[in-house]
A and B are shown apart, each in its own frame.
Chain A
Amino acid sequence: MCAHDEDVLTLSAEAAARALAAAGLDPGAIDGLWWGTTRPPFAEGPSHAILAAAIGLGSNSTGALLSGSPHAGIEALLGAADAIAAGSARVALVVAADALRPGIGTSFETRAGAGAAAYILTSADVSGGEAGALIGARVTRTYPLLDRYRGDAELATRDVYDPRLFREEIFLPPIREVGEHLATLEPTVWSLPDPDGRLGGIAATQLGARGAVASDIVSKAVGDTGAAAALLGAIAGLDAAGTVAVIATGGGRTTGVALVADVAVPGAATLQHLLDEGNEASYAEVLRSRTELVAVGESVPMGVPPQSAMFVRGANEMLSLLAGRCADCGTLNTPPSIHPMCLSCGGTKFETVALARRGIVHTYVVNRTMPAPFVAPLGIAVIDLEDGARIMLQVVGDGADIEIGAAVDLVLRRYAHERGVPVYGLKARVRQDPPDIFGDAVEGNGFDGTGDETSTIKEQ
């Protein structure tokens, strides 16, 4: 599940940052973002643009937001692959993410989860034959059957069928059909849809899947991750050489893709570490994270609301944490929109730069007297970033792990939900010890290298 200040967009940003770190790529190297999710933060709005800016993609980046069903994740993968094949992108970022929102009290509720998987796809001339996987086959079947759905303006996903009717007539037949095609490639590992913790196993049995079902560990740990499930499960199979058969289904469509890896894909091995990091959450916390439990006072307006001119001026600098570097003395003035003159020397010429996303706590507080919509305790820290800038930001969590000198990473979180508009910005997170399994590919790229949900795939 998400924390109260997380959603599909923040999960996606974090997975993307890890994928970039695993690939050793700067975000400026990405030509486009293909993003699949059933729950973009805006039903209509700048979801894709906000995520692209938060990841640090250039304003000339391309890509697409795919949505509408849990099939959207694999559509993002294939959309990116097609763009590379067509030559319109050389390096593509694929993010499949979801945070399901079931009806309160429905049977669907207990299996609804949240997660994000990010892949980086490159054309063969970019990857130069380095570690990665190839898309070996793809197959799609379409039947105009109703599965789970959500009507216009509805908040909770409907899960309408008798379980056996769903299983026998809607879920299993197309998976068998697609899976039998993939089985001819003799996959070593399968990533199968598993919306309830049992259907995946039944599908595997019917397919006679000889390989391990990699998606099991994901669905057991975090439940049904919707549009993220297929690519999350596939990561579990990409930590070694072999062929991973990936199947996604939803919205009347079922697609299978075979990913063929000669060696382990960078970043894939950290998945298990991340799945093991779980904490218990109360039902109230779960409801709050899904915005199904809203405290009285939630509608208190921000001092500077999203419809204000300040948001227009500051749109990029808040998502990307920009500063104006003084041309005369080098001082970093944050944010640029409120600093017409240098804090140190009064200079008026600036170069806009993105600040480092790692730093050290100089001092901090834990604010414990915060009425809703704030969530107390709320850590707030003054942080000295690695590039010499000083910044003050909220700290993720309950403040118990903050201390002077603590190393922090900056991560995207949702600061507010103002009259239906989610407001995003960076928060600090106290860095935990990185897992040993994370490779050397994180040097010098400015991103968090701790833990990963990623793969690199070469397009054939």
Chain B
Amino acid sequence: MAWNKVAVIGAALINFGELFDQSYEHMAAGAFQAACGAVDKGFDPTQVEAAFVATQRGTLWGQEGIAGNTVPSAIGLAGIPCTRIENACPSGSDAFRVGAMAVASGVHEVVLVIGVEKMRDKSTEEGLLSRAAAGHPIFTRGETAPVLFAPFATRHMHEFGTTREMLASVAVKNHYNGARDPYAHFRNEITIDDVLNSPPVCTPLHLLDCCPQTDGASAVLLVSAERATEFTDSPVFVAGFGVATDHPYLHEKSTFTSLTATVTAAERAYKMAGIGPADIDCAEVHDCFTITEILDIEDLGFVEKGKGGIASLDGETSLTGRIPVNTSGGLLAKGHPIGATGVAQITECWWQLRGEAGERQVATRNGFALQHNVGGRGSGVSVVNILTTNR
């Protein structure tokens, strides 16, 4: 039996992109207001009892580190309890999990989970340098974000014969989906040749193998399952979740063909939901790079280990495929405003399960959708949330 103690009654995101004209606070307010507006039977914002805000970068201009007290004020809820959640790339999905636990505990009945991230207020060069110079002076020097994932591509290609075309097919598919998502940063379709011929970034990954730097915000409203019908006749329940950690440094990894935190987090989430990977109708997974999605679909159990590349090339993860993945366009096309990413993925799952995904709508035979992030230094943390319409 699925856990189902908490329901999602509203979910929304603002248009992702280079939002130079919007402040962090404006993005937060936009997402919150949209989420309130998405509640079927109407929602008075003052009903929010507590909030969890996900923002990964705490050093943009200093105030994100204390988002727990800046965000309530920005969204008109000064006075409520609010806590910032930082857990690397899964910050948004972990805030969702924490919010669900807060509701399930009975302490709060109506909780806001909001993810907000400014990625473009600092220059690309500054962002790269802050990553490359961060961490251990020797063992992590030069580690820009692609360095954390590209070694897995090198090894996956070596062990399983995965090709650059297979990697590229992930970007092609996600851009196809993104072109059908009005909220996506990139709404253009691309070809495999576009990916192969894009400039090299971190061999073997090229530019279009990498997600962009995107500003964005997303919000969801959680209530106890008992009260769900006060707000909607089509509630979506939290079926289960799982979190797992792994050693943070790449030299501590035992394998470079799997992100083991994902495997463990998924096992925990499936067990909690009482289902297996075959029961999932669609999934929003962490595709910061094309190789990451290939690892994800293997580690989440959708395809056999080593077959992620060929399954992607063969269309198994397309909108009409066996297991549609990243129907929103994923991080590659929709964008990756880190704290907002997980919350926006939840929103896509919510739409899919409610049949509201428009051109991107997939068949939801079993009523389960899965959301996944993985990140941190060396993919040291992963979060999996599973949503369901099954009561």
Residues of A within 8 A of B (CB): 297, 300-304, 306, 310-311, 314, 318, 334-335, 338, 343, 362-371, 374, 377-378, 380, 382, 390-394, 399, 404, 415-416, 423, 425-426
Contact = CB atoms under 8 A, between A and B. Distances in A.
Contacts of B247: 343
A113 B339 CA distance: 52
Nearest to A306: B137
Contact of A404 (B142, B158, B250): B158
A392 B133 CA distance: 15
B249 A392 contact: yes
Contacts of B203: 365-368, 377, 399
Nearest to B136: A304
Contacts of B142: 367, 370, 374, 378, 380, 394
Interface of B: 125, 128-130, 132-139, 141-144, 146-147, 150-152, 154-155, 158, 199-205, 247, 249-253, 256
Contact of A364 (B129, B135, B154): B154
10 contacts: A303-B130, A303-B135, A365-B151, A367-B202, A368-B201, A368-B203, A371-B125, A390-B252, A393-B138, A415-B138
* Residue of B139, B147, B155 contacting most chain A CB atoms (<10 Å): B139
A300 B133 contact: yes
A301 B202 CA distance: 23
A49 B94 CA distance: 47
Contact of A365 (B130, B141, B147): B147
A362 B205 CA distance: 18
Given A370-B142, A390-B251, A393-B138, A365 B128 contact: no
Contacts of B199: 368
B151 A382 contact: yes
A304 B134 CA distance: 7
Contacts of A343: 247, 252
Given A334-B251, A363-B256, A365-B202, A374 B132 contact: yes
B92 to A, nearest CB: 24
A147 B318 CA distance: 76
Given A338-B136, A367-B202, 5 more contacts: A303-B130, A303-B137, A392-B250, A404-B158, A415-B137
A361 to B, nearest CB: 9
B259 to A, nearest CB: 14
B137 A365 contact: no
* Residue of B136, B138, B142, B154 contacting most chain A CB atoms (<10 Å): B138
A300 B147 CA distance: 20
Nearest to B127: A371
A378 B133 CA distance: 14
Given A363-B158, A364-B154, A368-B201, A382 B256 contact: yes
B141 A404 contact: no
Contact of B133 (A303, A364, A394, A404): A303
Given A343-B252, A380-B143, A425 B137 contact: yes
A362 B201 contact: no
A374 B199 CA distance: 19
Contacts of B130: 303
Nearest to B154: A363
A371 B137 contact: no
B143 A404 contact: no
B138 A367 contact: no
Contact of A302 (B137, B151, B205): B137
Contacts of B150: 365, 367
* Residue of B144, B155, B205, B256 contacting most chain A CB atoms (<10 Å): B144
B34 to A, nearest CB: 34
Contacts of A311: 137
A304 B144 CA distance: 16
Given A366-B203, A368-B200, A297 B251 contact: no
Contacts of B132: 370, 374
A399 B253 CA distance: 22
Contacts of A382: 151, 250-251, 253, 256
6 A-B pairs with the lowest CB-CB distances in the bound complex, closest first: A303-B134, A425-B138, A365-B150, A366-B203, A363-B155, A392-B251
A366 B137 contact: no
Contacts of B136: 304, 314, 335, 338
B82 to A, nearest CB: 29
A347 to B, nearest CB: 15
Nearest to B139: A392
B135 A304 contact: yes
Given A334-B251, A343-B252, A363 B152 contact: yes
B325 to A, nearest CB: 25
B252 to A, nearest CB: 6
Contacts of B129: 297, 300, 371, 374
Nearest to B205: A365
B251 A391 contact: yes
A302 B137 CA distance: 7
A311 B135 CA distance: 12
B138 A302 contact: no
Nearest to B250: A392
B149 to A, nearest CB: 9
Given A392-B249, A415-B141, A362 B133 contact: no
A362 B201 CA distance: 21
Contacts of B143: 380
A364 B142 CA distance: 13
A318 B128 contact: no
Contacts of A399: 203
